[in-house]
Amino acid sequence: EGMAFVDTVFKGVPTAPDHDLIPTAIFTQPEMGTIGLSEAEAEAKENVHVYTTSFKSMREGFGGVEERVFMKLIVSQETDKVLGCHIVAPHAGEMIQLAGIAVKMGATKADFDRTVAVHPTMAEELVTMRNPTRSS
């Protein structure tokens, strides 16, 4: 909103704020991050594939932390577009910010699949989920 104000008032370029697809994070223990549609919201609009993973990360495990990670991608069956991404994990805020760029740009599940995973990271799971957990 601040940049839209600056562009409109000071640069003379009328710009409306873009409130579509804003990544959000809750900085609890563990953190939660989300962008886009929830599974229920997406299913109310169209048929979707849901990809999920839950695991104990190597990074946290080596440090003696017993926290598990959960990730979910909501994908349009018709277009393959990633409609939502949800993460519960240490540093979920960092991961959802980057996932937000891809979702905002209209990335497809195939785009995620073509991305080389950085190993060993928690975020690599976002690009290695190959089979839907369920479909509607």
Distance CA 67, CA 85 (A): 20
Q: Tell me the catalytic residues.
A: 119
**CA distances to 16, 52, 92 from 70, in Å:** 35, 7, 10
Distance CA 51, CA 119 (A): 20
- Other C-beta atoms closer than 10 Å to the C-beta of 88 total 19
